Chains A and B, each alone.
Chain A
Amino acid sequence: MLLAVLIANSEGNILVERFNGVPAEERLHWRSFLVKLGADNLRGVKNEELLVANHKSVYIVYTVLGDVSIFVVGKDEYDELAYPPMGAWPISRNGSVAETIFVITSALKDVCGKPPTERLFLDKYGKICLCLDEIVWKGLLENTDKDRIKRLIRLKPPTEF
């Protein structure tokens, strides 16, 4: 299950947050935990360099893209390959949480045309919401191909199956 996808600006203000199966009272806790995690570790990190952390039984993969930082939280089947479960450490692109964040970053770049500034991100906000809707459906990763997503958000049938 992908518990949360959260996108924040460089000051830690939330731009997008989508939770799945997280009770409302725990959301605030997650939000502040993730923002702090970003503030502690994301300074000086290159675009799309993935960091991993784990908190209790859930795994968090996070990264920076332009002015925004992206966090994906997963558990159960969405942790398997997000090894190692310790501290912050760049890992290769693998595993489900990492896979999800990779899809999100590539879709963002596709929509914005480049790593987005905060302004650009907000300008494309509607499209970005649609992309996220296609990528994560009720906590499960669904579409992973950026061209396919691009067609789907314009209600065009995908070219291949």
Chain B
Amino acid sequence: MAQPLVKKDDDRDDEVDYSPFLGIEKGAVLQEARVFNDPQLDTRRCSQVITKLLYLLNQGETLTKVEATEVFFAVTKLFQSKDIGLRRMVYLMIKELSPSADEVIIVTSSLMKDMNSRTDMYRANAIRVLCRITDGTLLTQIERYLKQAIVDKSPVVASAALVSGIHLLQTNPEIVKRWSNEVQEAVQSRAALVQFHALALLHQIRQNDRLAVNKLVTSLTKGSIRSPLAQCLLIRYTSQVIRESGVNPQTGDRPFYDYLEGCLRHKAEMVIYEAAKAITELSNVTARELTPAITVLQLFLSSSKPVLRFAAVRTLNKVAMTHPMAVTNCNIDMESLISDQNRSIATLAITTLLKTGNESSVDRLMKQITNFMSDIADEFKIVVVEAIRSLCLKFPLKYRSLMNFLSNILREEGGFEYKKAIVDSIVILIRDIPDAKESGLLHLCEFIEDCEFTYLSTQILHFLGNEGPKTSDPSKYIRYIYNRVILENATVRASAVSTLAKFGALVDPLKPRIFVLLRRCLFDNDDEVRDRATLYLNTLGDGSVTETDKAVKEFLFGSLDIPLTNLETSLKNYLRDPAEEPFDLYSVPKEVKSQSFAEKKAPSKKPTGLSAQPAAPTSAPDAYERLLSSIPEFASFGKLFKSSAPVELTEAETEYAVNVVKHIFDRHVVFQYNCTNTIPEQCLENVTVIVDASEAEEFAEVGTKPLKSLPYDTPAQTFVAFEKPEGVPAVGKFSNVLRFTVKEVDPSTGEAEDDGVEDEYQLEDFEVVAADYILKLGVSNFKNAWENMDPASERVDEYGLGPRESLAEAVNAVIILLGMHPCEGTEVVPSNSRSHTCLLSGVYIGNVKVLVRLSFGIDGTKEVAMKLAVRSEDESVSEAIHEIVASG
């Protein structure tokens, strides 16, 4: 009994020590490959040598041209052998060597012979090898055989030919397209795999022909497809057709929906899932259409197969983003998935539940999540934290348990991104839910006591400085802040000093104590910390220079008013060619270029359809300013106040594409028409836009700048300038006609003929509106900015906005009307809320800062009422804003 055991051990030792390819060398293997030429082939040895060659090639070894040719010729000799195993190796070897065009000819005849062999497997493999190594000319020679093979009665052969067709379509589309009749026949094959491959190829052949795809889908959905794989493909093609055709406007029916719904009752799970997924992804899907799909997905949730559970919960998660109510039926099944062994499934289940859950289930859900959080990775935790944040905004009354949850997980181990997500969430909750402020701030204070991330510490300190002094007992935060000065690195210490100063400025009783602490900072070993302490001591009134109270607050809390990215670009430009005069902060453009905060946070809210206009280049205002100042006629207009986003004046895909940018100056407006000629056979000359301003009474045309020549596909501009009363937000409607001389162009030479014909092209009208006179300009802290603005300038009035689709729609309409910058994410209206406050800021023409506070309310009949409060640096501007709203 002992003997075999020992022997086995010996065996294992052997295995570890010895590799069959030990010390393998290319040269030696190439020598060995000469056995291929032996008159008496030793098939076993030949197979071994091929294996060695494959091993070398798979290791990344390359053969030189000469070596490869030699091996290739030798391998072709092996076609003499009748050994099946060796033949299979030979096929593989030829594919691996991928011989060059002049060598292919050597094997073609052998492969052609195999292609006509009686053995199905020879035929199939020979087709694959030939198609792999073939080029266009050879392909035409063998095309006849391939067409035959597609309809071969052996499924292996048919599949081989069809799959080869799919690959060849990339390189020789015109040849493969000729096979469509045979492929169509193969779609009707009884063999499932053949049907699948044939359908895939047929669709690829026709994919650019919408009508043909439509016909294909129409005929096949009537039910001749048996293979589940092919059925899945057909579902995908069908949803593509549905996407392109849209809903029938008369009956409200969606074409092919019945087919998709029918597939939900198919016996193969993959077909059921594919159909359910297709239904959930229909555009503007209705609740009635969704229901059957949700029902089958719900069944999958309790499947024993993890794949199905995963697929179902992932799809439902996506549906929950747009139709949370449709998914609520699955909540019970979903809750049981929280304990699923597969953590991906569990995370998806939780985040779905967080989206669909109602107020009463929050506490129960939180308990389950707490157990779950300890054993998932950071990336998943971030997803959960974000879901909890939106849940809390949805149910503000539940802030206590949600805030506790966030503070608990903040104390646990975690990486930077995770901690940042939690801190961001707490900050947002503090901002949006006033009751949560004090407890939230204390949680943050506790966190910075033991925070390893400098970035987060400084962010929290900054936030604490703005919010802490306004709480009922500001003194309790001082300990946490001063601890930072003692314990942390220089960056955090410097932030802590600034935060202390903010408390000193706002809370008079604390001032003397703050001075004591700041004076201690004067002995810090870091320059920045000492400098800040000195600066603040002086500004707050401890030193010789005493500022007024208002100036101090402006200095400490005021924002820079300039987007940092703009400042950065301007500084870089300044450094590139330094001028004599010092850098002027006021020369930095104030227009906000990047996406606003809320848009980034809620990308799903914005339709990103094909109709979305291409964004203007990021440096548009700079570029416009340079462009306009380079035109002598407009140089005297002064400083450019604002340039609008381009307004399209033509439909997409017309002969000439024209859009207009409105440039606003103090006493002038300039319309910049961006024209593109999309006809290769034409060149336009003397292009101008004739503007009819009869519906814009306050405007008088002062000049135009025609465009000399507009060749094909080279965008260029023509300008028209108008004068208007200074500082007045004049509005009006402009109708436009493009006038030009058209000349024929010979596309081959690109030369235009001498004679041209005058022609006109009607463009759409556009308007100059009040929003064109307001610059979008964000403020970092709206409340401070509002309080610092003179209350005497405030104008308040109430407006009825009439019946509206939703509160969000009304809010959006007013934002667009005013063209101002929404602050602090207030343009996002939580769903189902009955009232909302939106904060806007901007600069009115004449460089007057304006702040707007909008309070909306909606009643049961969807009537929206709005209270509008405006503060600005100039009372007349406050009134002007009211006029805009009243007339809008």
Contacts and interface: CB of A to CB of B under 8 A. Distances in A.
Given A91-B344, A93-B306, A161-B194, A133 B92 contact: yes
Nearest to A161: B191
Contacts of B345: 92
B121 A155 contact: yes
15 contacts: A17-B58, A17-B59, A84-B347, A84-B379, A89-B344, A119-B18, A119-B20, A120-B15, A123-B20, A125-B54, A126-B50, A129-B54, A154-B84, A155-B122, A161-B159
A125 B128 contact: no
A94 B163 CA distance: 23
A119 B19 contact: yes
B342 interface: yes
A92 B311 CA distance: 10
A91 B19 contact: no
- Please provide the 6 A-B residue pairs with the shortest distance between their CB atoms, ordered closest to farther: A92-B306, A161-B191, A126-B51, A119-B15, A94-B307, A86-B379
Given A31-B60, A125-B20, A89 B343 contact: yes
A125 B309 CA distance: 37
Interface of B: 14-16, 18-21, 47-48, 50-51, 54-55, 58-60, 84-85, 87-89, 92, 95, 119-122, 125, 128, 132, 154-156, 159, 163, 166-167, 191-194, 306-307, 309-311, 314, 342-345, 347, 377-380
A157 B20 contact: no
Interface in A78-112: 81, 83-84, 86-87, 89-94
B20 A142 contact: no
Contacts of B121: 152, 155-157
B47 A94 contact: no
Contact of B54 (A126, A138, A152, A157): A126
Given A125-B51, A126-B54, A137-B163, A89 B18 contact: no
A91 B307 CA distance: 9
A75 B181 CA distance: 32
A158 B128 CA distance: 16
B51 A129 contact: yes
A152 B156 CA distance: 10
A137 B126 CA distance: 14
A137 B343 CA distance: 33
B342 A92 contact: yes
Given A125-B55, A126-B47, A155-B87, A118 B19 contact: yes
B55 A117 contact: no
Interface string A8-21: 00000011111000
Contacts of B314: 83
Contact of B85 (A94, A133, A154): A154
A27 interface: yes
Given A125-B20, A154-B84, A155-B121, A137 B128 contact: yes
A137 B14 CA distance: 35
A120 B20 CA distance: 9
Given A89-B377, A94-B311, A161-B193, A130 B55 contact: no
Given A138-B167, A157-B156, A81 B311 contact: yes
A37 B647 CA distance: 50
A159 to B, nearest CB: 11
A68 to B, nearest CB: 13
B132 A138 contact: yes
A27 B61 CA distance: 12
The size class of the interface chain A forms with chain B is 35 or more
Contact of A157 (B132, B154, B377): B154
Contacts of A83: 310, 314, 344
Nearest to A14: B59
Given A92-B307, A161-B159, 11 more contacts: A16-B58, A31-B60, A83-B344, A90-B343, A94-B310, A118-B15, A126-B48, A126-B54, A129-B51, A140-B167, A155-B119
Contacts of A153: 88
Contacts of A161: 155, 159, 191-194
A122 interface: yes
A155 B132 CA distance: 18
Nearest to B54: A129
Contacts of A142: 163
A122 B20 contact: yes
Contacts of B311: 81, 94
| Chain B residues touching A, majority SS | helix
A125 B20 CA distance: 10
Contacts of B309: 92
Contacts of A93: 306-307
Contacts of A94: 306-307, 310-311
Contact of A126 (B15, B89, B119, B377): B89
B377 A155 contact: no
A129 B20 CA distance: 15
Interface in A21-72: 27, 31
Contacts of A155: 84-85, 87-88, 119, 121-122, 125
A14 B47 contact: no
A17 B58 CA distance: 5
Contacts of A122: 19-21, 55
A87 B347 CA distance: 14
Contacts of A137: 128, 163, 167
B155 to A, nearest CB: 4
Contact of B58 (A18, A90, A120, A138): A18
A87 B377 contact: yes
A161 to B, nearest CB: 4
Contacts of B310: 81, 83, 91-92, 94
Interface string A136-160: 0110101000000000111111100
A119 B58 contact: no
A129 to B, nearest CB: 5
Contact of A158 (B55, B132, B156): B156
Contacts of A123: 20
Nearest to A18: B58
A133 B95 contact: yes
A117 B15 contact: yes
Nearest to A15: B58
Contacts of A130: 88-89, 92
Contacts of B125: 155
Contacts of A14: 58-60
Contacts of A92: 306-307, 309-310, 342, 344-345
A140 B128 CA distance: 14
A133 to B, nearest CB: 5
A73 B344 CA distance: 20
A117 B85 CA distance: 24
Nearest to B12: A117
Contacts of A27: 60
A91 B311 CA distance: 12
B145 to A, nearest CB: 19
Query: Which residue, of B58, B342, B343, B345, has the highest number of chain A Cβ atoms within 10 A?
Result: B58
Contacts of B342: 90-92
A19 to B, nearest CB: 10
Contacts of A138: 132, 167
A123 B85 CA distance: 16
Contacts of B344: 83-84, 89, 91-92
Contacts of B166: 140
Contacts of B89: 126, 130
B529 to A, nearest CB: 38
Contacts of A152: 121
A138 B167 CA distance: 8
B809 to A, nearest CB: 34
B11 to A, nearest CB: 10
Nearest to B347: A84
Contacts of A118: 15, 19
Nearest to A143: B193
Nearest to B51: A126
A81 B308 CA distance: 11
A105 B92 CA distance: 20
A22 B21 CA distance: 27
Contacts of B88: 130, 153-155
